[in-house]
Amino acid sequence: MEWASCVAGTLTKVRGAASSSNSPVWELFCRNGSRIFVKVASSEIFHVREVHAYRFAVPALGPLCAPRLMASDPAQLAVLLTAAPGRNVATTRVTMADRVKVHHQAGWLLHALHSSAGVSIGASVDPGGLLRARRRSIEEHLAAAGDLLSPAERELVRRLATLLPLLSSCPVAFIHGDAQERNLLWDAATGSVTLLDFGRAQPALAVDDFVRLATGPWASPAPSSHCVLYWLRAGADATGEAGSACSCRTGRCQRSGLRSSHRRRRRHRSCPHDAEVAKPRGGHVKASS
């Protein structure tokens, strides 16, 4: 932690905070009483994306809506981040009323990120090409899912996949890339939300940021009617094409769900006992980050 101490000063305590996508995080306690976090990316591309996002896109979210980048070290694939108030939504008991507030604010944060003026997307993304590639990869994901899907479910996925090339009007934006509850902090005292973990941020289809939520918390009927409305409203304001986004999300969710199912299946095979008691993982910081 010599690099971090050179930036932040004398450290009095270091402890592991959490890990997300094989990216370990440490919480550092400074002599002046402040806390900061060090995150090490699992690969160079994730490190580059995260640093780029913090420098050029995250400022559009406003103060205290995301950690601030203090320094980065490409040699160690590490970033030094300020702490943010709140607790991880995925690992904290949150009332339904507060959960709706969380998703409402998160939708507007993604709106701001998608329309960030600090990132130039230009012609770097071809929506039609992305959708065609996803259609071609469907069989690969179906094979990986194995017996996790019934014949009827397989046909549903294939039928939805045939529609993907027709959705080339899906808007492109600078997306978060891993928008889900484990990457949100909720500060009940102030009623504010913080967005975390920008290692997958990149120019892509704006609707991709809906995928993990649509196959996760929104799958439960209770919160979905409120949360989907808020997120879609923010997306519609940013793109003006909510209809295309909704349709594209449906096909994209199938692909994402297959990938997740395949990973869960492999974990069950390697650690059957751990799989039975596994709990949802937190974001890259449990209490703050």
144-158: average pLDDT: 91
d(CA 237, CA 114): 11
**Measured between alpha carbons, how far is 75 from 214 in angstroms, rounded to an integer?**
36
Which carries the bigger pLDDT value, residue 44 or residue 19? 44
What pLDDT sits at residue 19?
A: 56
pLDDT single digits (tens) 227-277:
555 555 554 444 444 444 444 444 445 445 555 545 545 544 443 333 332
Q: CB-hemisphere CA count at 13 Å for 259? A: 11
Least confident of 108-117, 135-144, 182-191, 245-254: 245-254
**pLDDT at res. 283:** 36
- The C-alpha atoms of residue 110 and residue 107 are separated, in whole angstroms, by 5
* Token digits of residue 29: 């306690």
Whether pLDDT at 208 is above 80: yes
In order of their start, the domains of the chain are: 83-277 (3.90.1200.10)
> Which whole number is the average pLDDT over 25-35?
90
pLDDT for residue 226 is more than 70: no
pLDDT-based confidence at residue 289 (cuts at 50, 70, 90): very low
Report the distance separating Cα 62 and Cα 118, nearest Å.
Answer: 13
| Tokens found for residue 283 | 């974001």
Closest CA to 23 of 1, 52, 44: 44
Tell me if 237 sits within 8 A of 104, measured CB to CB: no
Question: Above 60 in pLDDT, residue 97?
Answer: yes
How confident is the model at residue 1, as a pLDDT? 72
Residues 82-94 have a mean pLDDT of: 92
* Per-residue pLDDT at 200: 94
How much is the mean pLDDT over the chain?
Answer: 77
